[in-house]
A = this chain, B = another copy of it.
Amino acid sequence: MKSPLLHELCEPFRGLLGTWKGRGEGHYPSIESFGYVEESTFSHVGKPFISYVQKTRDSVTDAPLHSESGYIRPQEEYLAELVLAQPSGIVEMHKGSIESSKNACVIYFESIDVRVTPSAKEVTQVSRLIKIEGDTLSYDVSMAAVGEPFQHHLKALLKRQA
């Protein structure tokens, strides 16, 4: 199938498109620190949104760990919304902004609403900072959860796959 043209609203996010692999680590007061390997894909179909799906595995045992999936909704003026769901029973809704140049961009999403299912752990606030320089993507996720104050939770360094 012919690849669709990128929607003009998605243009600032062009550098994000593709599949990324690498390693990350997680920290939080309520859990043991852990390492993970990650594969994330950002794709589009020509409409004014970008699909996101992420999967991680334990960096020691290779057992599947986490997944999440959702959509970036670019708005006018380098602003965007993000919606996503996690199998841990969390849905997130963010507003964000992007600073974009030819080979680099910085995207910062702050939650405007985080909801959890009755059986899930409490999460009340999330931020997601994504930096891209050429073929390297790094991110940092902070959150307020299980009664702990808002703080760093995850960071990872991924490489663009050919």
Contact = CB atoms under 8 A, between A and B. Distances in A.
B46 A71 contact: no
B81 A95 contact: no
A121 interface: no
Contacts of A115: 91, 93, 113, 115
Interface residues of A, number: 35
A59 interface: no
Contacts of A64: 4, 45-47
Q: How many copies are assembled?
A: 2
Contacts of A95: 117-118
Interface of A: 4, 45-47, 49, 51, 53, 55, 63-64, 67, 69-71, 73, 75, 81, 83-87, 89-93, 95, 112-113, 115, 117-120
Given A46-B64, A83-B86, 17 more contacts: A45-B55, A47-B64, A51-B67, A70-B85, A71-B85, A71-B86, A73-B119, A75-B119, A81-B117, A81-B118, A83-B85, A83-B87, A84-B85, A91-B91, A91-B93, A91-B115, A93-B117
